[in-house]
Structure 1
Amino acid sequence: MRLKLSLSFFLFISVFSFGQQLQLTETAEVSVLTIGPGESLNDAFGHNAFRVIDRNKGIDIVYGYGEYDFDAPNFYLKFARGKLNYLISRDSFSRFYNVYSYYNRTIQEQVLNLSLVEKQKLFDYLENNYEPENRRYLYDFFYDNCATKIRDVSETVTSSPINFSLPEDFQQKTFRELIHEHVNRNSWGSLGIDVALGSIIDRDAEAYEYMFLPKYIHSFFDVATIGDRDLVKSTSTLYERKDRNTSSNFLLSPLVIIGLIALLILYITYKDYKKNKRSQWLDVILFSITGIIGVLLLLLWFATDHTATAHNYNLLWAVPLNIIFIGQLFKKQPKKWFRSYLKFLIIMLCLMTLHWMVGVQVFAIGLIPFLIVLAVRYIYLLKYFK
């Protein structure tokens, strides 16, 4: 009973003290934490957070943006439509450190060169952000995520504008190239990203926009200044990722798996050619897959608030109209106009190749075998129906 009363009293005091406007002391420090990539696609880009330390007040807290709000109504529908609110999190540094070191993710710390007034302003801002009515914000992967929040909040609390210079190793890249720095192009994650996101991410990113990735928050902050002082006072590595032997998954990669499927389709097409027949089931499957994917891409473009899914030229191979025209494939001799439609599909594949060559949009390399076999199958059907 005494233990319960003591625990209740401690919780009451903790909540009450944070509910008040706690004043930091001269020894307080504010730093930016940069977490290295993890093993899963969700963790592939790393993470950023603020750390506030005031040992005189017994404070060592980490604030991070980008926590899922699983209690949100219609969570998955809102997630798909780009209308999902994310949360700011608050945790003790010891727990934060234990979690990320357990998952073997590098933790770097940059102590910010802020005045006590700026530190207090940042702390108050984060505490106010953590209030239940303020915790939620509309997430955007490129423009309002866990990294950009660190940049934006820092600019809000400093007495003078932050001047972000270019790091020494800066290279001009597109948004897609920046993504590929973290995700292997021949991976299923990259395949999904390259199919779902449109040509809008194939433009060159401005230097300021690089900071949608946590590692660039670290590199840009490292050379940033506030007036005549450096933004970062000191940098250290709190945990260094340990090398572990990881087996290569090349045999399970998109190029291999889709390549094997493409070879099978080519073999079936060759057998059809030799026997002068048509495997109807194969054509129905191909039209169904490309049509369904096309419809999904159209929905991502026009029915969601995702900014990066617009102007997606994957629709040149994933043609939504294929769903409508499947019925013609069940006929021994389809309508004459269907041959014109097949020519249209072949032209679309040629246009896609042109878009790729001139740099309008970069497509998934794992799709190459499938695109080749689509062209072969369409040409065969065109000749077969002649």
Structure 2
Amino acid sequence: MRLHLFFLALLFFFSFSFCQSGQLSTNAEISVLTVGQGDNLNDAFGHSAFRVKDRNSGLDIVYGYGRYDFNTPNFYLKFVQGKLNYLMGKRKFSDFFELYRYYDRTIQEQKLNLSQDQKQRLYNYLINNYKPENRAYLYDFFYDNCATKLRDVTNVTSNSTITYPEISEEDKKTFRELIHEEVGHNTWGSFGIDIALGSLIDKKATKEEQLFLPKYIFESFKNVSLNEKPLVKSSNTIYKSRYGTAYKTNFFVSPIFIVSLIAILIIFITFKDNKNSKRTKWLDVLLFSISGLIGVLLLLLWFCTDHTTTGYNYNLLWAFPINLFALIQFFNKTQKKWFGGYLKFLAIMLALMSMHWIIGVQVFAIGFLPLLIALIIRYTYLIKYYKTT
């Protein structure tokens, strides 16, 4: 009996040592896990991770990218500046599964068709990447996120470049279109994204660039080859969402509904002012203040951060920072002569914005359209008002 227990203990010791050494057995499997959408903006794009499973050693762990530490000094400032380091994470598969089952998010698995050498190389890479000195990296939503990391790690460790076939011109989508696939057109998430991110995301994404979205990692890996063999040897759904979790907004609290109410109010006050030959000061002060503040924020995102996609933002054509200085004119009994010209300039900027939208230089938030119409009407009235007073 003692001898039997001794051999069991010895076997456990060697199995544990084998696992800790990072050496995979020939029965080991490496998979890509794709997690479906959640019901908030942070989870709207899904998630991707590697699963390393080796029954011989009892190993079953998940490595993923895209975590962050709220205890990081100046966390929010670094996040806004685009200087926040994200972290590689590691957890038991059972914990990973229970987390996403709790939030009712679909989990799909693709077992990779790798040689033993390629499996070992990939696992060694993950072990090394998870070391404290290596696990932090500078996150980029489009080019260095949880999904693109899987693409890049697979390329590097397979010892062979995986070629992603080009897509036809008519099937290409812009980065913004790809975002809208996940968050919709009429949600507050897409509204904020369409205001904060500039025209750089209105360029067409290549097949490989589309892989910043987890669902495109899943679809692409199904159809690519490695050394003339399919990269994925089998796929299965580990957990299927029961309620179809997705990021969405109720129409009656959506941007286009709320902004339409605001636009109707602006137009109503403008027509009332026109009828009574007067000007509602508080409305103009509010419009100039809000548009000016948003303009300052957009300039800061463009020139004072490391974000790669906040530049060349033509929302500045309506959110004009100089409005903060020009609004002083609304408090003067007599307006300066230049102010009438400035109002015409703002109207021209709105016309340019419309032109940029029509020809596709930059696509703006669909929820902003009612406000654009209201601003054109308001500025046109103000030009007329100051011309006759």
TM range (shorter): over 0.9
Task: Report the alpha carbon displacement of residue 20 of structure 1 after superposing the two structures with TM.
Answer: 5.1
Stretch moving more, 220-229 or 131-140: 220-229
> Aligned pair 1:382/2:383, yes or no?
yes
Task: Summarize deviations over 1:247-301 as a string: whole Å, max 9, x none.
Answer: 9710111111111111111111122111111111110000000000000000000
Aligned match of 2:187:
187
Whether the aligned pair in 2 keeps the contact of 1:166 and 1:223 (CA below 8 Å) is no
Question: Structure 2 vs 1, CA of residues 19 and 136 (structure 1 numbering), >3 Å: closer, same or farther?
Answer: farther
Following the alignment from structure 1 to structure 2, what is the Cα–Cα distance between the partners of residues 367 and 54? 52
Question: Structure 2 vs 1, CA of residues 167 and 99 (structure 1 numbering), >3 Å: closer, same or farther?
Answer: farther
Aligned match of 1:231:
231
Task: Report the alpha carbon displacement of residue 17 of structure 1 after superposing the two structures with TM.
Answer: 5.2
Aligned match of 2:146:
146
- For residue 218 of structure 2, give the secondary structure of its aligned residue in structure 1: helix
Aligned match of 1:272:
273
Aligned match of 2:332:
331
Stretch moving more, 136-145 or 21-30: 21-30
Aligned match of 1:3:
none
TM-score by length of 2: 0.92
Following the alignment from structure 1 to structure 2, what is the Cα–Cα distance between the partners of residues 243 and 26? 39
Specify every segment of 5 or more residues in structure 2 that has no aligned partner in the other structure, as ranges.
1-12
Aligned match of 2:261:
260
Aligned match of 2:363:
362
- Aligned-partner residue type, residue 272 of structure 1: D
Q: How does 1:231-250 map to 2 (within 5 A)?
A: 231-243=231-243, 249-250=250-251
Aligned match of 1:72:
72
> Aligned pair 1:284/2:277, yes or no?
no
Whether the aligned pair in 1 keeps the contact of 2:112 and 2:234 (CA below 8 Å) is yes
Whether the aligned pair in 2 keeps the contact of 1:165 and 1:220 (CA below 8 Å) is no
Question: Structure 2 vs 1, CA of residues 245 and 141 (structure 1 numbering), >3 Å: closer, same or farther?
Answer: closer
Question: Structure 2 vs 1, CA of residues 323 and 18 (structure 1 numbering), >3 Å: closer, same or farther?
Answer: farther
- For residue 243 of structure 1, give the secondary structure of its aligned residue in structure 2: coil
Whether the aligned pair in 2 keeps the contact of 1:280 and 1:329 (CA below 8 Å) is yes
Aligned match of 1:197:
197
Following the alignment from structure 1 to structure 2, what is the Cα–Cα distance between the partners of residues 60 and 197? 39
Question: Structure 2 vs 1, CA of residues 329 and 17 (structure 1 numbering), >3 Å: closer, same or farther?
Answer: farther
Following the alignment from structure 2 to structure 1, what is the Cα–Cα distance between the partners of residues 370 and 105? 35
Stretch moving more, 241-250 or 277-286: 241-250
Task: Report the alpha carbon displacement of residue 18 of structure 1 after superposing the two structures with TM.
Answer: 9.2
- Aligned-partner residue type, residue 101 of structure 1: R
Following the alignment from structure 1 to structure 2, what is the Cα–Cα distance between the partners of residues 373 and 19? 66
Question: Structure 2 vs 1, CA of residues 17 and 41 (structure 1 numbering), >3 Å: closer, same or farther?
Answer: farther
Whether the aligned pair in 2 keeps the contact of 1:167 and 1:223 (CA below 8 Å) is no
Question: Structure 2 vs 1, CA of residues 263 and 18 (structure 1 numbering), >3 Å: closer, same or farther?
Answer: farther
Task: Report the alpha carbon displacement of residue 24 of structure 1 after superposing the two structures with TM.
Answer: 0.7
- For residue 329 of structure 1, give the secondary structure of its aligned residue in structure 2: helix
Task: Summarize deviations over 1:95-130 as a string: whole Å, max 9, x none.
Answer: 101111111111110000111111111111111111
Question: Structure 2 vs 1, CA of residues 326 and 44 (structure 1 numbering), >3 Å: closer, same or farther?
Answer: same
Following the alignment from structure 1 to structure 2, what is the Cα–Cα distance between the partners of residues 159 and 338? 65
Task: Report the alpha carbon displacement of residue 167 of structure 1 after superposing the two structures with TM.
Answer: 8.2
Following the alignment from structure 2 to structure 1, what is the Cα–Cα distance between the partners of residues 17 and 69? 26
Following the alignment from structure 1 to structure 2, what is the Cα–Cα distance between the partners of residues 127 and 167? 35
- Aligned-partner residue type, residue 350 of structure 1: A
Question: Structure 2 vs 1, CA of residues 248 and 385 (structure 1 numbering), >3 Å: closer, same or farther?
Answer: closer
Aligned match of 1:131:
131
Following the alignment from structure 1 to structure 2, what is the Cα–Cα distance between the partners of residues 244 and 254? 23
Following the alignment from structure 2 to structure 1, what is the Cα–Cα distance between the partners of residues 234 and 140? 30
Following the alignment from structure 1 to structure 2, what is the Cα–Cα distance between the partners of residues 324 and 98? 54
Task: Report the alpha carbon displacement of residue 356 of structure 1 after superposing the two structures with TM.
Answer: 0.5
Question: Structure 2 vs 1, CA of residues 295 and 248 (structure 1 numbering), >3 Å: closer, same or farther?
Answer: closer
Following the alignment from structure 1 to structure 2, what is the Cα–Cα distance between the partners of residues 134 and 241? 34
Following the alignment from structure 1 to structure 2, what is the Cα–Cα distance between the partners of residues 18 and 74? 41
- Aligned-partner residue type, residue 309 of structure 1: T
Following the alignment from structure 1 to structure 2, what is the Cα–Cα distance between the partners of residues 103 and 293? 35
Specify every segment of 5 or more residues in structure 1 that has no aligned partner in the other structure, as ranges.
1-12
Following the alignment from structure 1 to structure 2, what is the Cα–Cα distance between the partners of residues 70 and 18? 35
Following the alignment from structure 2 to structure 1, what is the Cα–Cα distance between the partners of residues 337 and 161? 67
- Aligned-partner residue type, residue 236 of structure 1: N
- Aligned-partner residue type, residue 61 of structure 1: I
How much is the aligned-residue C-alpha RMSD, in angstroms? Answer: 2.0
Aligned match of 1:4:
none
